[in-house]
Each structure stands twice: as C-alpha cells, then as structure tokens.
Structure 1
C-alpha cells in the first residue's frame, strides 16, 4: 500500500511508520521543511500550502499532526496553537485528498478521548456517549469536523479517539516511569479517577486495522478494554519495577505545576473501545499489567 502520514516524526507517527515500512508498505511523510528524499512531501498548514501531485494514487492517509497537549503549560497563546495546529492541518489535508483525481480509500484522522470532557467519574463512555463542553472537547469536535471535505468526497473517514498511550519512547508513560524509578510516584489527586490507557503496540495495531479493514468509518475509541484507576495503574507500574508508590500528588500541587491542564490529568474518563472490538479487533494488551509489561519490554514491537 501507499500511505501518507502527517505527524510521522511524533510518538505515535514514528511507531506507525516503522511498522508499515517493516512490512513493505510505501510511506510518504508530510514534512514542514525541504524534503530530504522521494518519500517526503513538503506542506505548510499555517499558510495552506501543499503539493498534491505526490499524493495521487494513495491507498490511505493518516493524519496525526498537532502540538503536544501536555508539552507546555497552557497559556492563552498555547491553547490557540493546540487548536489551530490540529484544525488547520486537518482541513488542508482533507481538502487536498478530496481534490485528487485518484483519492485514497480511507482517511484516518486523529482525535482524542478529551472529546468526552475532563471528568465523567465512573460513567462508561463509548463512541455514542455525549461529548463534553470544555476546551479540549470543543477542540476535538472541531478537529473531527475539519475532515468534512474528505467525507464529502466519499473517502471513508475514521476518527481514532486516543486514550493514554503507554510506550517507553514517549507520552505519559515515559514521565511516569521516570518518577516511579525515583520512588516519588503515587496516586494523583486521590487516585480514584479512571485512566483509559492503551499500549503503543495496540495503538499502532488499531491504526493499521482502521487502514486495512474495509468498512471502518466514524469514531473509534483507541483504548484498552479494561480501564483502571490512576492509583491502580501506578501501583502496577511500581510493582513491575520494584519501587514504592506511596507518595500522593494532591490536586493543588498538580494545578501549580500544570495550570489548567491539571483538571484533565486529574479527571476521570472510563472510555471503552466498543466499536473497535465489535469490528473484530483483538487487543494484545487488554489490561494494566500487560500494558505496563509491554512498555517496559525492550522487545515489544512498535
């Protein structure tokens, strides 16, 4: 297959690209600099510039572009960047695909579990659940809506709504692992809040499933089927590396360090992957113990 990926140098994009190339697929990377080879296509979502010619005849396109939600403290300017880096990039990608003479069959465009809000306590959240009204929820709604040009062009559009992706090379797990090794990790803001986690391996497998399986369209929660409290996940991690997990982090401390983003870190989202499982996907790492083991193993594939 020929597959174009935006955000291919990020945590998930790197793993997806590696997996596809290892299996012999041709991957085109959308980059924001001068292309370094025939497998790269320059684009600039800020000014709306992209050369569509190399994208003709694609089998699939994957959109993972967007500034990191937890990379910086949320100032007003950074919140604008978070939204615009997603909506502008998605709009440009979708419009370009829709205008091709030979468009791809499927457009897999990222979203996130934040679409359900910051805190839904112990409510089970599947793809038919109501969405939230806060900043992240509205951003995710606009992010998904930006794919409309591709959908209107009869391209199958899938929205993988990512949970907390756990892998050694980045994301939340890398930070948690560092704190756990130092013995300074414990329950966050009481610890009862649900974390909807998933291994990086299953994340890549789920994206490939959406790319490769005809008939997939719409929203898919990309989480493990057994979400647990943050206290339980941290306990499993600490036990796996033989460290204590007894130093709690109160909410006011998170607020000082993280600002507005603290309410999302301390929120509870019990997200389940109903549509993914019903479509035939089977997780290799369905629970916290297997997710942690996969993240800690040097032999785990991307």
Structure 2
C-alpha cells in the first residue's frame, strides 16, 4: 500500500486530494502543527521553528507539498507579506533538509505553486509555462517559492510543480468570496481573464502526477477555457439564484478596501493548459457550466 504524506492537508485542496487518494486505497498522512487535532493520521512539524517528526519522511513513498499561508485571507501589511513568503520558504527548506538526511527518500514530490508567477495582469495574451515571471509582490513570492521546491531535484526525486489557477469549489475558494455581497457584480472592468480549475479536476491532476512517472517539471493547473471576470460572476450568480448587476465595482473602491491586494482581482491571466493536456490528462469539468452545475447542485 502506497504511503502519501501531505503538507497543507487540512486546506481546501488537501482535503479533496486526501479523499481521492484514500478512495484509491492509498494510506495518507498529514504534516501538522497540531497532529492530535485531526482524525487523519498526522505527524508533527512546525516550519517556523524548523521542527519535524523525521519518521514522517521515512514513512512516505511520495509527498504532496501544499503548505503556505493564504494569500487572500488578510490585508497585505508588511508583516502579512512576510508570513506569506516565509510560510512557503520555511516549509520547503525544512522538507528539503529532512529528506536530504533521510535513509529512505520519497520517490516523488508534487508541489503547489500559482499562476501568480506570471504577474497580476498579462492581458489577453495566452500564457505558457516558459513565459517570464511578473514583477509584482505575488510574482516575486512564487518565483522564490519555486526556486525552493526546485531543490528537491538535487536529491534525485522526481518533482512536479503545478501553477494553480483560481480554484472553484463548493466548500470555499474564489466563488464564496465573489458571491458574498447581496448582489453579484463584475470587478473593475470585468474584462480581465480568470483562468479557473474545478477542485475535483485539480485533485485528480495531483494524483495523476503521482502515478505517472513520466511527469516532471512545471505545469499550469488551469481548465481549458479561461473566461472573463464578468462571465464567471454572471454565470455563478445565475446558478446560485442571486441578482447580478452588470456594473463593475470601481477599481478605486477595491483599492480602498483591499489595498495592494486589489491588483490580484483587477488584473487577469489567460493561461494555457496545453502542456498538461498533452500528457494525456483529461478534464471532467473543463466546461464552466458543468463545474457550476456541480457546485450549486
């Protein structure tokens, strides 16, 4: 029976991946600061303190590395920015150093990253994995994060990194925030592209990367059809049965409320998934209506 260790296992993506893997008969454990808190088998770690139960690494045949503080949870003060970056670098460094010492090393590690790599706003140009990084706060975080996880390859471990788009899910993610106000409306111009992926497809993609030994390197984890902010908001409102007003929330109001973080929703990226589809991965929810139908069923 294959043993899979997950960092960030209790999050939106982690719980979905755990459910999938266990349904396939795999044994899953999480790395957690509070291992007793969960019914899930868990090992202790605290990346901030540089502490980890080394037995976790010996136990694992493969690792799924999803840990990192949420980028949209709190306003980006200088302290919060430091937390966002450090949570990614410290956890990756702790894993690397512990694996380096381990007698038994995992065969593969699947890491999360983000399409934020390309910058807040790349307009309507189709973006591929080989495109350069952006030059804003989030792009800088993702570039450093990927540099930290790239080091796993030095240990001769097959490493796959997914640049994840906007995750659509029942349990949370972007839609929950978009549909919070009493009336749904586009943000800014509403024309900015959103490269989205349905949570079930993302969980299956991560599992696919574990099982397919030919996969390594960086892949965009986005669905086949990016849509504008206006289209996504309007369709989601229809499925939710919520009023939609086709007047964009002004940029200045968003910047007033969110500060620098507003750039994340005012910009957009039209990202290609050609590379992962080229490996034979098939999307079950590549159509937005299918995904929204599943979410609001």
TM-score (norm: length of structure 2): 0.94
- Deviation, structure 1 residue 56: 1.3
CA RMSD, 1 decimal = 1.6
For 1:275 and 1:42, how far apart are their aligned partners in 2?
A: 36
Moved more, 36-45 or 279-288: 36-45
- Residue 60 of structure 2 is matched in structure 1 by 58
- Residue 113 of structure 2 is matched in structure 1 by 111
In structure 2, list runs of 5 or more residues that go unmatched.
Answer: none
For 1:101 and 1:224, how far apart are their aligned partners in 2?
A: 39
In structure 1, list runs of 5 or more residues that go unmatched.
Answer: 298-302
- Residue 16 of structure 2 is matched in structure 1 by 15
CA contact (8 A) 2:30 2:40 kept: no
- Residue 235 of structure 1 is matched in structure 2 by 234
C-alpha deviations, 1:210-268, integer Å up to 9, x for none?
A: 11111111111111010010001112112223333214311111111211010111101
For 1:241 and 1:167, how far apart are their aligned partners in 2?
A: 13
- Residue 250 of structure 2 is matched in structure 1 by 250
1:157 aligned to which of 156, 159, 167: 159
For 2:273 and 2:100, how far apart are their aligned partners in 1?
A: 29
CA contact (8 A) 1:199 1:295 kept: no
For 2:180 and 2:204, how far apart are their aligned partners in 1?
A: 26
SS, match of residue 174 in structure 2: helix
- Deviation, structure 1 residue 94: 2.3
CA contact (8 A) 1:2 1:59 kept: yes
Query: Residues 178-193 of structure 1 correspond to what in structure 2 (within 5 A)?
Result: 178-179=180-181, 182=182, 184-193=183-192
CA contact (8 A) 1:90 1:109 kept: no
Is residue 280 from structure 1 mapped to residue 273 from structure 2 by the alignment? no
C-alpha deviations, 1:130-187, integer Å up to 9, x for none?
A: 11111111110111111244210110111111100000111111122333xx3x1111
**Aligned length in residues:** 294
- Deviation, structure 1 residue 35: 4.2
- Deviation, structure 1 residue 38: 8.6
- Deviation, structure 1 residue 97: 2.2
CA contact (8 A) 1:95 1:150 kept: no
Query: Residues 44-83 of structure 1 correspond to what in structure 2 (within 5 A)?
Result: 44-83=46-85
C-alpha deviations, 1:256-302, integer Å up to 9, x for none?
A: 121101011110100121221011111111122222222223xxxxx
CA contact (8 A) 1:191 1:230 kept: yes
- Residue 132 of structure 1 is matched in structure 2 by 134
C-alpha deviations, 1:85-127, integer Å up to 9, x for none?
A: 0111111112222332221111111100000001000010111
- Deviation, structure 1 residue 57: 4.9
- Deviation, structure 1 residue 52: 1.6
For 2:251 and 2:78, how far apart are their aligned partners in 1?
A: 22
- Deviation, structure 1 residue 18: 1.6
For 2:85 and 2:294, how far apart are their aligned partners in 1?
A: 32
Is residue 195 from structure 1 mapped to residue 194 from structure 2 by the alignment? yes
- Deviation, structure 1 residue 13: 0.8
Change (3 A) 1:38 1:53: farther
For 2:283 and 2:224, how far apart are their aligned partners in 1?
A: 8
For 1:22 and 1:115, how far apart are their aligned partners in 2?
A: 33
CA contact (8 A) 2:184 2:242 kept: no
